[in-house]
């Protein structure tokens, strides 16, 4: 064991030099702002503002998807989970990856062929426009809201580690800075600027993770077995009683039947949620055609898969080289594992780089969420539901830009409220809503001829309401007490308040099948629209052939 454990344990408030972290981060912001300004020309029309003129190539978009998808929660969170819980952290990343096959096979190309800007374009294609768009927009906004809160809270937590700020004032300031930068990127750069921020961030993140991975592997002579052995040995040296458990499943999820069901529920939400995440779906509109949408997903799968393989090495590397005790003692807890490993390997400079990348990650993800939520409000709620389609694309973009500011303010306020909340739970909730409210409706509307408006509304609202209700009455919100310390592990810290009756922390196991069932039940009890057959024929022909699909905007 090296001296880092001692250093980190002796001075748990601060690792590295805050000014180095801040300098590298400011450099990233400066570079991306220049890119965003350059990308801001031509942002007058909806096709430019929402979809970057549909002119990105598959590889570019695939990289941006990776940048959009690999949030700070997955980078810092998974590495930390592997460092502390070993194999169970790895399980998490597998769900995030396999989920992309759903997007590749069932969704990406068909969605690109039939929609223009939002998920609701596809869901409402052959159904009654206004109610279905409204429902789809609400589901979109709910997912974006939970995901935004998670990222904002993550930004606040990250700064605790990097700047040694423990008080809430400094964390509030960081959340505000992230929010203002997000507004600037999206307001100025639209989808084109946001995409480039995501591409730059993905390249930095994957390069940084790759460098650290190779570094760790070199230290162990490229022998994965000895790295794993050392992780177990470090835990044993620290007096862990279940260090052997790091290499197999069960440390986190294997405690009881309830935790096992929790794990199944999470696994289901992860694998079905990705292809229903509105900010991921919207990225498919930024390429010229379905073939490029397919290439995007292929690139994204390779990048995301490689990245999760890196996190496996980084997680066990942090367990072996930094040690679980020092990670738990650090201000960010499990989330600090990757950062402490960077410090252990490359000192202040590498820590500064990885920390800046983590910040950049949060920025890129929140920008993607903000433009998705703004597009959904302006295009679906304002233009289609309120104005009934009688609005030109310039006016719609004006509304979208104003919405971005509102969303930014909500995200800042919500992020301040969410500081200290369990980030993984917020992300899991976003995935559960996406898998319950969005995915069943997408699949039915693309593949089930008979599917009708009532089925769509029942599936979307059923999935959305059941998710949020079950979460509200789950141990995540109230009544979960740490048996050892008696401290509350719930959102409501007062242990005397307990209105939880739903035992699982993730609602997916119930809400996803329920939404599929309601979609079926609504359809068989509902009536088809008068033009059901014509629209179904048009949608099916267009989705499979690409006839009449939106083209790239010509310069």
Q: Name the site residues for another protein (rule: CB under 8 A).
A: 87, 90-91, 94-95, 97-98, 100-102, 104-106, 109, 114-116, 121, 125, 128-129, 224-226, 228-229, 232, 244-245, 247-250, 253-254, 260, 263-264, 267, 271, 291, 294-295, 297-298, 301-302, 305, 308-309, 384, 388-390, 531, 533-535, 537-538, 540-542, 544-548, 550
Q: Is the separation of the CB atoms in 156 and 174 below 8 Å?
A: yes
Q: How far is the CB of 267 from another protein (least distance, A)?
A: 4
| Joined tokens for residue 326 | 């020092």
Q: How far is the CB of 404 from another protein (least distance, A)?
A: 24
Q: How far is the CB of 497 from another protein (least distance, A)?
A: 31
Task: Indicate the residue among 125 and 146 with the shorter CB distance to another protein.
Answer: 125
Alpha-carbon gap, residue 453 to 424, rounded angstroms? 34
Task: Indicate the residue among 37 and 255 with the shorter CB distance to another protein.
Answer: 255
Q: How many residues does the chain have?
A: 555
Q: How far is the CB of 163 from another protein (least distance, A)?
A: 36
Residue whose entry in the numeric block shows the structure tokens 């919405």:
403
Alpha-carbon gap, residue 345 to 323, rounded angstroms? 13
Task: Indicate the residue among 34 and 224 with the shorter CB distance to another protein.
Answer: 224
Q: How far is the CB of 23 from another protein (least distance, A)?
A: 36
Residue 266: which of 482, 483, 71, 78 has the closest Cα?
A: 78
Task: Indicate the residue among 29 and 99 with the shorter CB distance to another protein.
Answer: 99
Alpha-carbon gap, residue 368 to 52, rounded angstroms? 12
Q: Is the separation of the CB atoms in 268 and 508 below 8 Å?
A: yes
Task: Indicate the residue among 34 and 541 with the shorter CB distance to another protein.
Answer: 541
Task: Indicate the residue among 409 and 541 with the shorter CB distance to another protein.
Answer: 541
Q: Is the separation of the CB atoms in 381 and 138 below 8 Å?
A: no
CA 26, distance to chain mean position in Å, is 24
Residue 391 DSSP label: S
Q: How far is the CB of 132 from another protein (least distance, A)?
A: 11
Alpha-carbon gap, residue 34 to 315, rounded angstroms? 34
Residue 272: which of 88, 469, 431, 460 has the closest Cα?
A: 431
Q: For CA atoms 140, 145, 146, 148, give the dihedral sign.
A: positive
Secondary structure class of 481 (helix, strand, coil): strand
Task: Indicate the residue among 231 and 514 with the shorter CB distance to another protein.
Answer: 231
Task: Indicate the residue among 187 and 251 with the shorter CB distance to another protein.
Answer: 251
Task: Indicate the residue among 267 and 479 with the shorter CB distance to another protein.
Answer: 267
Give the ranges where 124-244 is alpha helix by DSSP (H): 129-162, 168-219, 224-237
The DSSP-derived string for 306-354 is HHHHHHHHHHHHHHHHT-HHHHHHSTTGGGGHHHHHHHHHHHHHHHHHH
Q: Is the separation of the CB atoms in 245 and 510 below 8 Å?
A: no
Q: How far is the CB of 116 from another protein (least distance, A)?
A: 5
Residue 381 DSSP label: I
- Gyration radius of the chain over CA positions: 23
Alpha-carbon gap, residue 170 to 13, rounded angstroms? 14
Contacts of 81 (CB under 8 A, 6+ apart): 88, 89, 92, 252, 315, 334
Burial (CB count <10 Å: 0-12, 13-18, 19+), residue 167: exposed
Task: Indicate the residue among 82 and 460 with the shorter CB distance to another protein.
Answer: 82
Q: How far is the CB of 280 from another protein (least distance, A)?
A: 16
Task: Indicate the residue among 21 and 74 with the shorter CB distance to another protein.
Answer: 74
Give the ranges where 52-114 is alpha helix by DSSP (H): 58-69, 72, 78-85, 87-102, 108-114
Task: Indicate the residue among 114 and 213 with the shorter CB distance to another protein.
Answer: 114
Q: How far is the CB of 512 from another protein (least distance, A)?
A: 13
Residue 247 DSSP label: G
Q: How far is the CB of 114 from another protein (least distance, A)?
A: 7
CB atoms within 10 A of CB 487: 10
Q: How far is the CB of 317 from another protein (least distance, A)?
A: 14
Q: How far is the CB of 333 from another protein (least distance, A)?
A: 24
Task: Indicate the residue among 469 and 534 with the shorter CB distance to another protein.
Answer: 534
Q: How far is the CB of 511 from another protein (least distance, A)?
A: 18
């Amino acid at each position: 064991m090296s001296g880092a454990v001692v250093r980190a344990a002796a001075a748990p408030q601060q690792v590295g030099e805050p000014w180095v972290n801040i300098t590298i981060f400011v450099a990233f912001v400066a570079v991306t702002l220049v890119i965003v300004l350059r990308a801001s020309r031509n942002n007058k029309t909806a096709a430019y503002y929402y979809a970057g003129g549909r002119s990105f190539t598959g590889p570019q978009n695939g990289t941006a998807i990776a940048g959009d998808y690999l949030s700070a929660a997955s980078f810092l969170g998974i590495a930390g989970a592997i460092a502390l819980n070993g194999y169970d952290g790895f399980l998490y990343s597998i769900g995030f990856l396999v989920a992309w096959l759903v997007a590749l096979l069932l969704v990406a190309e068909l969605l690109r062929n039939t929609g223009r800007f939002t998920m609701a374009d596809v869901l409402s294609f052959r159904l009654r426009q206004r109610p279905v768009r409204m429902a789809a927009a609400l589901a979109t906004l709910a997912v974006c809201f939970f995901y935004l809160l998670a990222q904002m809270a993550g930004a606040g937590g990250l700064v605790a580690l990097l700047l040694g700020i423990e008080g809430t004032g400094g964390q509030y300031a960081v959340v505000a800075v992230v929010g203002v930068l997000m507004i600037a990127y999206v307001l100025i750069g639209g989808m084109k600027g946001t995409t480039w921020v995501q591409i730059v961030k993905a390249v930095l993140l994957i390069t940084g993770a790759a460098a650290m991975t190779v570094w760790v592997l070199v230290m162990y002579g490229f022998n994965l077995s000895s790295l794993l052995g050392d992780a177990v040995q470090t835990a044993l040296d620290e007096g862990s009683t279940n260090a052997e458990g790091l290499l197999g499943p069960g440390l986190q999820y294997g405690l009881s039947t309830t935790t096992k069901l929790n794990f199944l529920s999470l696994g289901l939400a992860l694998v079905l949620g990705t292809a229903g995440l509105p900010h991921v779906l919207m990225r498919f509109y930024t390429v010229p055609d379905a073939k490029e949408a397919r290439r995007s997903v292929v690139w994204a799968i390779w990048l995301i898969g490689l990245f999760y393989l890196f996190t496996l090495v980084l997680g066990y590397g942090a367990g072996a080289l930094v040690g679980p005790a020092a990670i738990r003692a650090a201000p960010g807890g499990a989330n600090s594992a990757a950062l402490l490993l960077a410090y252990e390997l490359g000192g202040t400079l590498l820590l500064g780089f990885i920390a800046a990348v983590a910040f950049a990650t949060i920025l890129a993800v929140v920008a993607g969420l903000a433009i998705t939520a703004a597009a959904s409000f302006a295009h679906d709620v304002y233009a289609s539901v309120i104005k009934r389609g009688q609005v030109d694309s310039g006016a719609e973009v004006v509304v979208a830009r104003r919405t971005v500011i509102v969303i930014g303010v909500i995200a800042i306020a919500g992020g301040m409220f969410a500081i200290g909340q369990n980030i993984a739970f917020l992300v899991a909730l976003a995935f559960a809503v996406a898998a319950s409210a969005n995915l069943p409706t997408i699949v039915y509307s693309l593949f089930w001829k008979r599917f009708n408006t009532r089925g769509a509304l029942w599936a979307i609202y059923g999935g959305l309401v059941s998710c949020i209700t079950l979460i509200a009455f789950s141990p995540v919100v109230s009544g979960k007490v740490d048996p050892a310390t008696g401290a509350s592990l719930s959102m409501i810290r007062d242990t005397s308040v307990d209105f939880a009756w739903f035992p699982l922390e993730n609602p997916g196991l119930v809400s996803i099948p329920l939404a599929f069932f309601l979609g079926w039940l609504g359809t068989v009890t509902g009536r088809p629209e008068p033009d059901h057959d014509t629209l179904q024929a048009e949608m099916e022909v267009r989705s499979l052939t690409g006839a009449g699909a939106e083209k790239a905007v010509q310069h």
